[in-house]
Amino acid sequence: MLSKTIEKALNSQIRIEAESSQIYLAMACWAEVKGLEGVAGFMYDQSDEERDHMLKLVKFINERGGHAHISELKAPNVTFQSFKEMFEMLFKHEVFVSESINELVHISLQEKDYATHNFLQWYVSEQIEEEAMARTILDKINLIGDDKGGLYLFDRDIQQLTVNSASTDTAE
């Protein structure tokens, strides 16, 4: 059974994950109308992934005797000065999400809710990957600079981008 404190905190995270999905969706739309089909596809996929993260929380709360709440969402930014600015905002947002997950882990330990603590470990690992991906993308964008050919190749290749972070590496 979830404590009211944990239930409230998890419901707040539902909203954050839903807003993350909307942020990525807005970025996908912006990229698509700018002719960045690869970036748009990447963002659409990320939007779907964030929605899945939200649903995972919804089901966990309901299965543990709580009641998941779906709330209004803050409208995302829909215009960007450049694709670099867009990815910088994405990185800052992922850092914010990581901080929120870390606070949830802290609350679960304070409440001695080890089932929730265990459940949240997946999110901790996922955020390590998300931040590593955003950092890698920003590094590539900085390498490209203002080179249009580099942007073309980046847009073409972004959907194949995978990052092996320390959390996903397995010992051989």
Domains of the chain, each with CATH number or no CATH: 4-160 (1.20.1260.10)
Cα Rg, the chain, nearest whole Å? 17
Please report the pLDDT score of residue 164 as a whole number: 53
Q: State how far the alpha carbon of 56 is from the alpha carbons of 39, 50, 83, 106, 164, in Å.
A: 26, 10, 30, 19, 23
* Residue pLDDT tens, the chain, 172 long: 899 999 999 999 999 999 999 999 999 999 999 999 999 999 999 999 999 999 999 999 999 999 999 999 999 999 999 989 999 999 999 999 999 999 999 999 999 999 999 999 999 999 999 999 999 999 999 999 888 888 888 988 887 775 554 555 544 4
The annotation status of 94 as a binding-site residue, yes or no, is yes
What's the pLDDT score for residue 160? 76
Q: Is 67 annotated for ligand binding?
A: no
To the question of whether residue 7 is assigned a binding role by annotation, the answer is no
Rounded to whole angstroms, the Cα distance separating 52 from 27 reads: 18
Q: State how far the Cα of 172 lies from the Cα of 169, in Å rounded to an integer.
A: 9
* Greatest CA separation for the chain: 56
DSSP 50: H
Burial class (CB in 10 A: 0-12, 13-18, 19+), 64: middle
Q: Judge whether 17 is annotated as a binding position.
A: yes
- Other CB atoms within 10 A of residue 156 CB: 13
DSSP string spanning 147-166? -HHHHHHHHHHGGG-----T
pLDDT the model gives residue 130: 94
The CA distance from 24 to 107, in Å, is: 28
The verdict on whether residue 93 carries a ligand-binding annotation is no
Stated pTM of the model: 0.90
What is the C-alpha to C-alpha distance for residues 15 and 28, in angstroms, rounded to an integer? 20
Cβ 13 vs Cβ 100: under 8 Å:
yes
